[in-house]
Copies of this chain bind each other. A is one copy, B any other.
Amino acid sequence: MVEMKTIQKTIDLLSEEASLQSVFHHKRNEEPMPSIEKLHEVVRTLRQILFPGYFGNSDVREDNVRYYMGVHVENLKRLLTEQILAGLCFSSAEKASCVKEAENICMQFVERLPLLREVLVTDVEAAFNGDPAATSRGEVIFCYPAIRAIVNYRIAHELLELGVPLIPRIITEMAHSETGIDIHPGAKIGRYFTIDHGTGVVIGETTIIGNRVKLYQGVTLGAKSFPMDENGNPIKGILRHPIIEDGVIIYANSTILGRITIGKNAVIGGNIWVDADVPAEAKIIQKK
């Protein structure tokens, strides 16, 4: 009996308006909710579209690839439109006003898929050429965490550019959880990009990365400090992450901070803290 009262009281406390204040998501009637499970399905479907034959247990061959492409793209449309809509609703728009927008965005995203694949081919190439332990491009596509993280990032980046809230971030966080590589969907990253091993890599929201850049595990491309507003909180939206120019290599566990520029083909050694511009072609290593 005592037990029942305790439980009862706890339930009451947990249901009080005051307690619920900032932890309760007030969903409007019948609005879809972003779903991590369904976004996993979106990404799985996209990988089947981008790299046919590698993922899913389908029997895809030259003579039937168009059938599969057709069906996967249809599935994608259905799944992704709902999640885009969920993202728009979550960010406080009314559902009715967003249905059409969600469909339009999804359509535009689909149109960009051939180009997306083209860029990803260069990333696969970079990972294969850059890793003496890689035995084939197929191995890279099938099991390299860097490719997994970069695929998610490139998908998320397109969606963010098309104005989708929340969903891009969830997609990159999914890769973060699986690979330990944390790329903000807002970052801009060129072609032929690769990351070796990857655990602990952080690439911040306003980072700009050129072509043919290679990072190693534990590299942070972060912000140095945040200008505060009158309430002592960081001001949002300021350009605060590095610019990494074409051909740069950054070795393991180095930390590059602030809106600085690492010039073309520069090489940054491991375990270094860099918060100032580095000229093109420079090589920097840890002091002993």
Contact = CB atoms under 8 A, between A and B. Distances in A.
A26 B138 CA distance: 10
A222 B114 CA distance: 36
A54 to B, nearest CB: 5
A279 interface: no
Interface residues of A, number: 129
Contacts of A252: 202, 220, 222, 255
Given A27-B53, A91-B136, 5 more contacts: A19-B114, A25-B51, A68-B70, A139-B166, A271-B273
Contacts of A141: 23, 25
Given A129-B234, A217-B200, A15 B169 contact: no
A11 B66 contact: yes
A180 B199 contact: yes
Greatest chain B CB density within 10 A among A75, A78, A199, A216 is at A199
A253 interface: yes
A124 interface: yes
B65 A20 contact: yes
A281 interface: no
